[in-house]
Amino acid sequence: MRKLLLLLLLAIFVFPVLFLFLKSITFSWRYPDVLPTAFSMRAWEALASEPQLLPAVGMTLFIGAVVVVLNLLLGIPAALALSWVDFRGKVAVETIFFLPILVPVLAIAMGLHITMIRLGIADHPAGVILIHLLPTLPYTIRVLRGGFDRLDPAWMQLGETLGAGVFRRIATIAVPIMAPSLRSAAVLTFVISLSQYVLTAIIGGGRVTTLPLLYYPFFNSADQAVIAAFSVLFAVLPLLFLFVWETVSSAAGRLLRP
């Protein structure tokens, strides 16, 4: 069963990336050849020679990271309240939190754009970061709420009666137990932020250049190898994010083990 699942995961996620990678270094690949017959690094060289590429990757990572941090900062209290606290109008609040996903974000973005121009954060990464909260925060709240539902408050009280202070209780009980939810929320947020084109284009006004803003115009070029190389880059960024997240969290986890 486990093996089957792993195979399925490989088929769905790894195989397409491998295929894209292969395609990106292909010079000639025609029917009926199973594998390419000639290779070339031309597509990667073309990418590397694109002067905007590195700054765009940097901007994408920066915006993604800040959006993840903000998502956690805002999502944790909201999810905590929805899960642990009973208050009147809870269903209404839940619906409002989920609204950005039900209403076309574009409509909201247009309205927010005007506000942002007044505030002077349009055409600026800050505005892009704020607008990226719209398609991400609803998912974060959902996912984290599930995490809090599984975190019995009694565990935290037990930590208290054993004499652990509030920050220790959070670091050694709440965070490890909620680790899967935190990871899901962070990766989901990062991927959603990474793939925003329209929102970034509108609010960024073309001056905040992220990877998708470079990527989509490339589709006009018919060079499939270059598109493939670009796509590989796209696929690698979330993996990189996941790798950093896992490394940091497992190091922290080891440090705090009793």
Partner 1 sequence: MLTLEHIEKSFHQETVLHPVTLTVTAGNILSIVGPSGCGKTTLLRCVAGFLKPDGGEMYLGDSRLDTKKAAERPVVLMFQDALLFPHLTVSENAAYGLRHGRRRLSRPERKQETEAMLSRVGLWEKRNHYPRELSGGQQQRVSLARALLLQPDLLLLDEPFSSLDAHLRQELRLWVRDFLKEEGVTALFVTHDREEAAIMGDRMLVMQRGHVLQEGTPEDVHKRPAGPDVAAFIGEGIYLDGTYYPGSSLEAASEGAAAVVEHAVYAYGWTFYRIHLEADGQQTVIRSEESLTPGQKLAVRPKEGVSDD
Part of the chain binding partner 1 (CB under 8 A), chosen from 2-10, 106-114, 141-149, 173-181: 173-181
Is-contact 136 212, C-beta < 8 A? no
Part of the chain binding partner 1 (CB under 8 A), chosen from 62-70, 79-87, 149-157, 200-208: 149-157
Whose Cβ is closer to partner 1: residue 113's or residue 183's?
183
Task: Give the DSSP letter of residue 37.
Answer: S
DSSP assignment of 98-121: HHHHHS-HHHHHHHHHHHHHHHT-
Among 101, 108, 126, 172, binds partner 1 (CB under 8 A): 172
Class of residue 122 by CB neighbours under 10 A (exposed 0-12, middle 13-18, buried 19+): buried
Is residue 163 a contact residue for partner 1 (CB under 8 A)? yes
Is residue 168 a contact residue for partner 1 (CB under 8 A)? yes
Is residue 165 a contact residue for partner 1 (CB under 8 A)? yes
Whose Cβ is closer to partner 1: residue 150's or residue 207's?
150
Part of the chain binding partner 1 (CB under 8 A), chosen from 70-78, 119-127, 167-175, 227-235: 167-175
Instruction: Pick the closest to residue 64 from 257, 234, 250 (CA basis).
Output: 234
Instruction: Pick the closest to residue 192 from 101, 112, 88, 127 (CA basis).
Output: 101
* Binding residues vs partner 1 (CB under 8 A): 152, 154-155, 157-165, 168, 172-173, 176-177, 179, 256-258
